[in-house]
Amino acid sequence: MIETIRQGLLEDGFDVSISKLCRWFGVPRRSFYYRPVKAAPKVKPELEAPVKALIEQEPSFGYRTVAWLLGMNKNTVQRIFQIRGWQVRKRAIGTRPRIQALPSRAMAPDQRWSTDLCRVWGGRDGWLTLALVMDCHSRELLGWQLSRSGKATTASAALEQALISRFGTLGRVREPFLLRSDNGLVFTSRNYTRLVRSYGLRQEFITPHCPQQNGMIERVIRTLKEQCVHRNRFETQQHAMRVIGDWIQFYNHRRPHQALGMKTPAEAYASAA
């Protein structure tokens, strides 16, 4: 304020000293000359080293996941992220109007499963189709299949693998539950719907053009692409299957999930079963 007034007086042809201005306005001179000196924030090397090593290995991990995997305080890890500029940027939230989404959650395991397809580049084998099946309660990926065909057989193989993984055998389930999917040609085909009914499951379809109603499996696919697919250059289908299989094992048994209270999907299923 004092400097602004002084510059205005100089423009009008009046040269008034800083001392007089401070005296006129009752401002101590030390307040005018004070310049705050803030030391640069420091990070202890023994805390920074393991955090840096982990995010170099998995750059898409946020501070909560890093803190859980390293057994560190999440506030400490977040502070290190902020100081070093490692904070993962959040995606901008769109403003497009949305209909009321039917939640894909489930109150217990094996009440609702969700399935979907995505495309993966397989190098010499071209585009591949990946089918996933997950439990909407534990977020566990129960079945998956990667093939060069995007037909119903790919989705059927993933579903049968999920049934074997959960129940140990193929056959009608004891208590029917829901299988959520979109309205694609694969999931509405006669072969697939006949297979689903033969195992005692009930299909439920989301509203057309509303993928947020199947948001749980959509979010897993995004995570899979960010943390696995986009970080590897697959040479063949076999190469892709090996890498994706390793990641799914990591996702189910080692990767904590915030919505599950920082438990892994396998731990969430074990505690609910």
pLDDT at 27: 82
- Residue 222 carries which side chain, given as an amino acid letter? R
What total of structural domains would you count in the chain? 3
Instruction: Please say whether the beta carbons of 111 and 178 come within 8 A.
Output: yes
pLDDT at 92: 65
Residues 40-73: tens digit of each pLDDT: 788 888 888 999 998 888 888 888 889 988 989 9
Say if residue 179 is in the same domain as residue 73.
Answer: no
Say if residue 78 is in the same domain as residue 118.
Answer: no
Say if residue 56 is in the same domain as residue 142.
Answer: no
Range of the domain at 237: 112-272
Query: In a structure prediction context, what are the per-residue pLDDT tens digits for the chain, which is 273 residues long?
Result: 777 887 787 888 888 888 888 888 888 888 878 877 777 788 888 888 999 998 888 888 888 889 988 989 989 998 898 888 887 666 666 555 554 556 677 888 899 999 999 999 999 999 999 999 999 999 999 999 999 988 899 999 999 999 999 998 888 888 899 999 998 899 999 999 999 999 999 999 988 888 888 889 999 999 999 999 999 999 999 999 999 999 999 999 999 888 888 899 999 999 886
Say if residue 261 is in the same domain as residue 164.
Answer: yes
pLDDT at 105: 78
Taking the C-alpha atoms of residue 76 and residue 47, their distance in angstroms, rounded to an integer, is: 9
Q: Which residue has the tokens 């309205």?
A: 183
User: Is residue 174 assigned to a domain?
Assistant: yes
User: Is residue 225 assigned to a domain?
Assistant: yes
User: Is residue 102 assigned to a domain?
Assistant: no
* Polymer length of the chain: 273
Residues 206-226: tens digit of each pLDDT: 888 888 888 899 999 999 999
**Helix/strand/coil for 30:** helix
Nearest Cα residue to 62 out of 249, 54, 137: 54
Taking the C-alpha atoms of residue 9 and residue 233, their distance in angstroms, rounded to an integer, is: 68
pLDDT at 207: 85
User: Is residue 262 assigned to a domain?
Assistant: yes
Say if residue 79 is in the same domain as residue 212.
Answer: no
User: Is residue 184 assigned to a domain?
Assistant: yes
Report long-range pairs for 120-125 (Cβ below 8 Å, ≥24 apart): 120/146, 120/229, 120/234, 120/240, 120/244, 121/234, 122/148, 122/234, 122/236, 122/237, 122/239, 122/240, 123/233, 123/234, 123/235, 123/236, 123/239, 123/240, 124/235, 124/236, 125/236, 125/237
- 186 Cβ neighbours under 8 A, 6+ residues apart: 117, 150, 151, 152, 154, 155, 192
pLDDT at 191: 92
- Partners of residue 132 on adjacent β-strands: 116, 144
Exposed/middle/buried for residue 224 (C-beta within 10 Å: 0-12, 13-18, 19+): buried
Say if residue 62 is in the same domain as residue 168.
Answer: no
Nearest Cα residue to 240 out of 115, 119, 59: 119
Say if residue 63 is in the same domain as residue 125.
Answer: no
**Helix/strand/coil for 135:** strand
Say if residue 144 is in the same domain as residue 263.
Answer: yes
- Residue 259 carries which side chain, given as an amino acid letter? A
Instruction: Please say whether the beta carbons of 251 and 141 come within 8 A.
Output: yes
pLDDT at 100: 55
